[in-house]
Amino acid sequence: MSSTFDGFKPPLLWKHFEHILTIPHCSGNEKALGDYIISVAENSNLEWEKDKVGSVIVRKKATAGHEHAEGVILQGHLDMVGEKNSDVVHDFAKDEIQAEVKGEWVQAKGTTLGADNGIGVAASLAVMEDSTLTHGPLEFLFTVDEETGLTGATKIEPGFLKGKKLLNLDSEEEGEFTIGCAGGADSEITLALKRNAGSSGELFQLKLFGFRGGHSGIDINQGRGNAVQLLARMLWNAMKEFSFELARMEGGNKRNAIAREAWADLYIDPSQEQNLSSFFQEAFEKINLEYKAVEKEANFSFEKSDGNKEEPLTPESQEALINLLFTLPHGVLAMHPEMEGLVETSSNLAIIRTHQDHAEIICSSRSSEASALKSTRATIATLGKQAGAEINQPEGYPGWMPNLQSPLLKTLKEVYQKISQKEPEVGAIHAGLECGIIGEKFPGMDMISFGPTIEHPHSPEERVHVGSVDKFWIFLTAVLAELG
């Protein structure tokens, strides 16, 4: 049978990846892929277990003579993000991913490929099946729903894992080891609003749009503008010089994304239109200057609105809302003191939405230091309370503190140097990883994350570098032999 990946190395890994492409497996729909893992385990006479949420664990005995080595866990997530270009017809619930080879890369036709984390899963399957490898006792952990809720990692039962060393195969740059990640937690602010009965003014809309947005962790240090924060800045400044009545405000739509758009409906006295319009024009020009290096498409408009004519907020409610949005933190709050270039603490002013009698504001904060995360959330809560708002702060997920003295890191560095004749890069990321959660549940677990080179995950441009998959495999199997 001919294969898209004929001649690719290692064949066993690519065989499994090709099969994974035929099984729809977006977050929440991982059962079929879990069943495939189980079928591979049974064909290789390996013991397996499945937990309540659908995560699967497979155990493989050590090769003869290596029974006394410490257990090693290989871990990846079953689910993928389903994103497609608007001109592509694809049903992620039932269609196969159409992969194609483009030069040194494998990409899908207009959809996400699922190399994140399909290559990591395929590597585990290949290790399960390959009888020529040398290793100690192995466990293979396949978690569900990493991408939308970190559910699989969060729900692992104590005792599900026996090993004390974990190799997470969900990193995206060959030659880089990830040894830490940020914890994160949201703050949900509800500010009660009072309204006046009607306005004599005319309704206008101030809108900021065309900002780049991006991931609120990974991209928070890129100097991008937050449309909600900048809209609040413009309104706060205007409030000092003009009178207007705020009726509605909306901006941002995802907790983990930087807001790209925000708008406010204002009643103004028609005689003030010209003055207010030039005021906003000037205010936006200053913003443009500040962000010109990164926000080339950012723009604003101030136009008559024929939208939903809601009653205006009372002056007190309006001031409380604008002041609160103006003072809530957004962006990088601290850099890590030891790891160069790593953001330690940040917060994202993610969403504002006014309703008839209240405004809903969501901030999403991250830090690799639990105490700094706690303090950032306390700041947000204090600002909210000062404005008279109610604050809900649901439990977040824990970070993973980098351990530069980790014995596992030492071994992996030595193996990498021996194979590649160069030093690996060692770093941490300012986003959540399953290792943060697993580390909290299994204290003392020594963990490292690495993988092949995958570009643009979670987008239809996702692609995996073919040569890096082979290097990743050679390194992984050498590490297993060394630890065995």
Task: Give the interface with Zn ion as residue ranges (CB under 5 A).
Answer: 116-117, 170
User: Smallest distance, Å, CB 146 to Zn ion?
Assistant: 6
- What lies within 8 Å, CB to CB, of 59 at 6+ separation is 46, 47, 48, 137, 138, 139, 140
Q: Which is nearer to Zn ion, 77 or 260 (CB)?
A: 77
Instruction: Determine which one of 79, 245, 250, 434 is catalytic.
Output: 79
Q: Which is nearer to Zn ion, 435 or 466 (CB)?
A: 435
Q: Which is nearer to Zn ion, 116 or 188 (CB)?
A: 116
Q: Which is nearer to Zn ion, 117 or 178 (CB)?
A: 117
Q: Which is nearer to Zn ion, 74 or 232 (CB)?
A: 74
- What lies within 8 Å, CB to CB, of 158 at 6+ separation is 441, 442
Question: Residue 327 has which token pair?
Answer: 């003072």
User: Smallest distance, Å, CB 78 to Zn ion?
Assistant: 10
- At 21, is the secondary structure helix, strand, or coil? helix
- What lies within 8 Å, CB to CB, of 364 at 6+ separation is 184, 185, 186, 187, 216, 255, 256, 347, 348, 350
User: Smallest distance, Å, CB 282 to Zn ion?
Assistant: 45
Question: Rounded to whole angstroms, how far apart are CA atoms 314 and 102?
Answer: 60
Angle at alpha carbon of residue 96, lines to 95 and 99, rounded to 5°: 140
User: Smallest distance, Å, CB 77 to Zn ion?
Assistant: 6
Question: Rounded to whole angstroms, how far apart are CA atoms 229 and 318?
Answer: 16
User: Smallest distance, Å, CB 235 to Zn ion?
Assistant: 39
User: Smallest distance, Å, CB 400 to Zn ion?
Assistant: 15
Active site residue 95: no
Instruction: Determine which one of 116, 139, 145, 146 is catalytic.
Output: 146
Active site residue 282: no
The residues with which 75 forms a beta bridge, in sequence order, are: 141, 168
Question: Residue 219 has which token pair?
Answer: 């991209």
Closest C-alpha to 124, from 46, 58, 30? 58
Torsion of CA 104, 110, 111, 114, to 10 degrees: -10
Q: Which is nearer to Zn ion, 186 or 462 (CB)?
A: 462
Q: Which is nearer to Zn ion, 117 or 226 (CB)?
A: 117
Q: Is the dihedral of CA 326, 327, 328, 332 positive or negative?
A: positive
DSSP string across 223-252: ----HHHHHHHHHHHHHHH---EEEEEEE-
Instruction: Answer for the pair 384, 324: CB distance below 8 angstroms, yes or no.
Output: yes
Amino acid, single-letter form, for residue 234: M
User: Smallest distance, Å, CB 32 to Zn ion?
Assistant: 19
Q: Which residues are catalytic?
A: 79, 146
